[in-house]
Structure 1
Amino acid sequence: MDPIITRGVAIPRLGFGTFRMPGADAQPVIESALAIGYRHIDTAAMYENEAAVGAAIAASGIRRDDLFVTTKVWHDQLAPDALHRAFDASLRKLGLDHVDLYMIHWPSRDMDMAATLKALTSLQERGLTRAVGVCNFNLPMIRRAVEEIGAPIASVQLEYHPFLSQTSMLGYLREKGIPLTAYAPLAQGRAASDPTLAALGRKHGAGAAQMAVAWLLDQEGVIVIPKASRSESQKANLEACSIGLDDDDRTAIGALPKDQRFVRPPFAPDWNAIG
């Protein structure tokens, strides 16, 4: 599957998510993913596994240029000086001389968005990250970041799966040529037991979770980063790249409820805000 080119960088459309894989136990899981063929690894300071990601990369023997590594700064570190310190700490734990994408993990209600995005972009200008992005911004925030501040956003990472619509966001991002990176693409495991996805999976000789991944990859400008601890699930997610959906499949998945948001921390922005 061809990568998505955004802001001059190529992002593999299927990545490997590492949320809820804290500590050294994550290293063999990530080593397995790399051995199977993943070349896009998504981590974050909050995941507490950057050192394990770095160790897995070092052990893999894969050329650095063949990997795409994303990490993120937590929402309590968005003042410019704090953001730079957080980045330095992440880079040190990863054991890398640069990352491919550095992202704001969640917006903060009291952040100075212009100053934060300027600090983020300065890391790119210094060659410490190849691209910058944001996660969990609502549409008015994205509009401000892109249109008013002029930040060179390479991707926007959001919760996206067959049970949650991102139609408005996708419409805007496609207009601006910015890909959407879908986290929690299996709806925190719920996709695997959905009857509609299971029925479609039987038609394709695939599992329900694979159909969720295939549905996301079927869409223009969408990158998918499922988490999988077991090698069998890691392989299954990779195999979903070869599933071709037809119009009946799209109609069936499109008819699933699209109002189910499962990631709802108290500091989340207003998802109903219209930009």
Structure 2
Amino acid sequence: MPIDLPRLGLGTYSSDDGDDWADTVSTALDTGYRAVDTAQVYGNEAAVGEGIRSSSVDRDDVFLATKTVHVDVPPEPEEVPEAIDGCLDRLGVDYVDLLYVHWPSGVYDHEDVLPAFDEAYEAGKARNLGLSNFTPELLDEAREVLDAPLAAHQVEMHPLCQQEELVAYAQEHDHWLVAYSPLARGEVFDRPEIEEVAEKHDATPAQTTIAWLLAKDNVAVIPKASSEDHLRDNLAARDIDLDEEDVDLIDSVEGEYRVVDPDHAPWN
């Protein structure tokens, strides 16, 4: 069975430095969220940690995930242990529940980088290890090196980027596929298939899309939200029970669209 991970969490990526993530994280936890996802390159780990400490929820009840090893962070493989420690220091925690390799690019080499993640796992700094933005081939390669079990693989996923192969891979190897950018920056909102299912369930297109993701085995989702209203709206998606016909209709949405498609991505 996959690890015990809340299937709906809070994503905290933003290009807007003005976002007050301490308040957002604290509000999200007080509202009912129990998972928070951040990363070294987001530049908000300190704020995320502050938000966890200022909330009414005990740290041990929060599933906290972060990422390091981006295309340019850290600059050298031997600095990966220091980068991992830096994540913990900024978050103000002794451990994270899930530590991801952010991208299989830049400094990343499975034989150079993954042993440092195993060491963090063995030392209790990371209770679980994950990968992000990998292809099936790179997942195979990484799993041959990792001593720790692969707990999660985080990728962009939504009705316009359905990731059927990676969903099947997660189900076969019994880890979570964690969907980021689940609303494709609003591109899913005006799709007639999603609008039809949303109307049927008296829900918003955003809630319907999140419910569609949650209807799939081994899939979790981390939508971003900044206001309390949006936080509550997204959380309410857990109460929408899509039937097989609903899921099939949204599955039929056509048109491949990535909102995160950098040149260094392994599929480019």
Q: TM-score range by the shorter chain?
A: over 0.9
Alignment-derived partner of residue 66 in structure 1: 61
How is 1:112-131 mapped onto 2 (pairs within 5 angstroms)?
112-131=109-128
TM-superposed CA distance for 1:254, in Å, is 1.1
Alignment-derived partner of residue 260 in structure 2: 263
TM-score (norm 1): 0.91
Q: Which amino acid aligns with 2:49?
A: G
Match of 2:102 among 102, 105, 109: 105
Q: Which amino acid aligns with 1:127?
A: G
Equivalent-residue separation in structure 1 for 2:131 and 2:75 (angstroms): 12
How is 1:52-201 mapped onto 2 (pairs within 5 angstroms)?
52-75=47-70, 76=72, 77=74, 79-108=76-105, 111-147=108-144, 152-201=149-198
Equivalent-residue separation in structure 2 for 1:184 and 1:131 (angstroms): 22
Match of 1:204 among 201, 206, 222: 201
Alignment-derived partner of residue 26 in structure 1: 21
Contact persistence 2:118–2:147 (CA under 8 A) = no
Match of 1:15 among 9, 24, 45: 9
Q: Which amino acid aligns with 2:198?
A: G
Alignment-derived partner of residue 215 in structure 1: 212
TM-superposed CA distance for 1:115, in Å, is 2.1
Equivalent-residue separation in structure 1 for 2:84 and 2:158 (angstroms): 29
Equivalent-residue separation in structure 2 for 1:214 and 1:89 (angstroms): 35
Equivalent-residue separation in structure 2 for 1:111 and 1:56 (angstroms): 31
Q: Secondary structure at the match of 2:188?
A: helix
- Structure 1 window deviating more from structure 2 (221-230 vs 109-118): it is 109-118
Equivalent-residue separation in structure 2 for 1:24 and 1:205 (angstroms): 30
Cα offsets for 1:141-177 (capped at 9, x unmatched): 0011124655521100000001112111121221111
Q: Which amino acid aligns with 2:40?
A: A
Q: Secondary structure at the match of 1:11?
A: coil
Is residue 48 of structure 1 aligned with residue 46 of structure 2?
no
Contact persistence 2:53–2:59 (CA under 8 A) = no
Q: Which amino acid aligns with 1:37?
A: G
TM-superposed CA distance for 1:192, in Å, is 2.8
Alignment-derived partner of residue 226 in structure 2: 229
Query: How many aligned residue pairs are there?
Result: 265
Cα offsets for 1:51-86 (capped at 9, x unmatched): 110111111132111010000003232744311111
Contact persistence 1:145–1:151 (CA under 8 A) = no
Equivalent-residue separation in structure 1 for 2:82 and 2:147 (angstroms): 24
For the aligned residues, what is the CA RMSD?
1.8
For structure 2, the 5+ residue unaligned runs are none
Equivalent-residue separation in structure 1 for 2:81 and 2:168 (angstroms): 32
Cα gap change, 1:128 to 1:40, in 2 (>3 Å)? same
TM-score (norm 2): 0.93
Contact persistence 1:79–1:112 (CA under 8 A) = no
Contact persistence 1:156–1:179 (CA under 8 A) = yes
